[in-house]
Amino acid sequence: MKPLSAILADAAAVTTIWDEFGPVWVFVVAGLAGVVLGLAVSLLLTRYTRRMAEQQANQLIDVARREAAVEAHELRQKVEDELQEKRAEITREFDRREIETDVRLREIRAHEESLALLDHQLEQKRERLSRENAAIRQARDAMRDMSKSLRRRLEGVSQMDAEEIKKNLCQEVEIECQEELRQLRRDTLERSERDLEMQARRILVATMQRMASKPNADITATIVQLPNDEMKGRIIGREGRNIKAFEAVTGVTLLIDETPQMVLISSFDPVRREIARIALDGLVKDGRIHPASIEEFVNRAAEEVNVNVEQAGETAVEHLGVTGLQPEVIKLLGKLKYRFSYTQNVLDHSVEVGFLASMIASEIGLDPNLAKRAGLLHDIGKAVDGEYEGSHAAIGAEFVKRHGETPIVVNAIAAHHEEVKPETVYAGLVILADTISAIRPGARAEAMANYVQRLDRLEKLALGLDGVQQAYAVQAGREIRIVVAPQHVSDDQARDLARELRRKIESELQYPSTIKITVIRESRFTETAT
């Protein structure tokens, strides 16, 4: 054991060391404790932050999963809707094809039935002709045998030679058979006419059954709707400068009356009227109406109408399958889109006539393409502005002749109103197809009030001329006959009077087709002898 003195020495040394280094160790220990505490707090904060981050991540994952599920459901629903639409569209297309196939099958069956009926009729004719030929041969043989026996008897009882007897017999037989021959000829001709009439009716019925078209309900008046009545004043402009500029550029007449929120465009040129309608509609929507903008919108409308005209002509040509037409002819044909005969659109009427003519031609064994071409172009003269004079048939024939059409087509166009003599059967086909298209139910309709007003206006125009005593509108307004006073109007003046009336009608009336003007100047002198 250490002695007490040594222990005390050690204790004193320790005390000395503690006195010297005690505070430092206390500070070190406190620092270490602080570090440990900081590490512990940092660890706890890290764990808490990690736990909160994991919770937020889980929440975001849940939200993303729900959004993905919603988007997947929406996508699935969209795909199902598209599939349903496609399925419905395919079903509709299938139904339409099935209906078209059924219609075609019916047409084929009807055609086959008509052919079978025609074959049966031809077979009956052949059998009847065979029986008649056999009867004629039998009668001829009987007459020959009778003539031989009679000649032998006459030679035995008479001194006449064989030539004289033959001559006398021929005269007697001719006298006896003359009435029978006339009756046989009459019966044969009547039977042939009946057969031809039946065949013609069958062909027309078969053609009209194959041709299905809806009635037109278009109107010829051009009306532009306005947003309010204030727009009328802006269209007129200060001192009427806007409306004057519009009418000068377009060549139409604007009628602005008390009718609310609308103006009427009046012009005998349907293309100009359409250009004016598009331009005025654009000006109303734009709101800036002055001479400069009017000219700009009219130019745009003219370009748009020209494009529409070309597209309409090309569509009609492609619809019928007609080839080889020059661009000038197609463009002029497209102008018929804006022209109407009563309520029937002239372009639709031309396409319909082309179809009808080709069908009739195919029924009777002619070239359907040639008939279709003539039918399509038969009314093209109605679209010519004024370069030619005469009826639209003559104008159209002259126009297509200048553009290389065949004489058959030219004559069919010129003769479709029988103004010239038809030279080929194709002209007759066009006349027939034009008549069928015009007179079918609903094709051309005109209100009775408009019809009476047009005839009354025509007669008043004629009566307004000097020297006219009476005026009569005949042939449903297609001809006007006027009677002039012979003491006031000479022959030359009557000719000038007809020209003046023609100019008045062309400038002041709107009418279908043509109007024939006949001026009658007559002097009568009566005396009574007693």
Tens-place pLDDT, residues 260-315: 778 888 877 777 888 888 888 888 888 888 888 888 888 888 888 888 888 888 88
In-domain check, residue 84: no
DSSP letters, 235-248, are: HH-GGGHHHHHHHH
In-domain check, residue 17: no
Is a pLDDT exceeding 50 seen at residue 429?
A: yes
Q: 215: which DSSP letter?
A: P
H helices, E strands: number in the chain: 14, 8
Please tell me which residue, 151 or 359, carries the higher pLDDT value: 359
Is a pLDDT exceeding 50 seen at residue 59?
A: yes
pLDDT, residue 213, reads 44
Same domain, 153 and 290: no
Is a pLDDT exceeding 50 seen at residue 333?
A: yes
Same domain, 420 and 473: no
At which of 151, 185, 210 does a domain end? 210
Quick one: tokens of 380? 């093209």
Question: How many domains does one find in the chain?
Answer: 3
Same domain, 183 and 282: no
Same domain, 314 and 420: yes
In-domain check, residue 188: yes
Please tell me which residue, 195 or 405, carries the higher pLDDT value: 405
Same domain, 194 and 267: no
pLDDT, residue 47, reads 84
Same domain, 233 and 306: yes
Same domain, 383 and 417: yes
At which of 141, 175, 210 does a domain end? 210
Distance (Å, rounded) from C-alpha 467 to C-alpha 469?
Answer: 6
Owning domain of residue 489 = 448-521
Average pLDDT value over all residues in the chain: 78
Quick one: tokens of 143? 């007459």
CATH of the domain at 476: 3.30.70.1350
Burial 15-36 (b: 16+ CB within 10 A, else e): eeeeeeeeeeeeeeeeeeeeee
Least confident span in 145-149, 219-223, 232-236: 219-223
Same domain, 428 and 341: yes
Over the stretch 169-191, which tens digit does the pLDDT of each residue have? Answer: 677 666 666 666 666 666 666 66
Same domain, 132 and 173: yes
At which of 383, 413, 439 does a domain end? 439
Report the DSSP beta bridge partners of residue 224: 263
Q: Could you tell me what percent of the chain has a pLDDT over 90?
A: 0
User: Which residues are CB-contacts of 208 (< 8 A; sequence separation ≥ 6)?
Assistant: 356, 436, 440
In-domain check, residue 385: yes
pLDDT, residue 215, reads 40
Same domain, 165 and 292: no
Distance (Å, rounded) from C-alpha 264 to C-alpha 219?
Answer: 13
In-domain check, residue 66: no
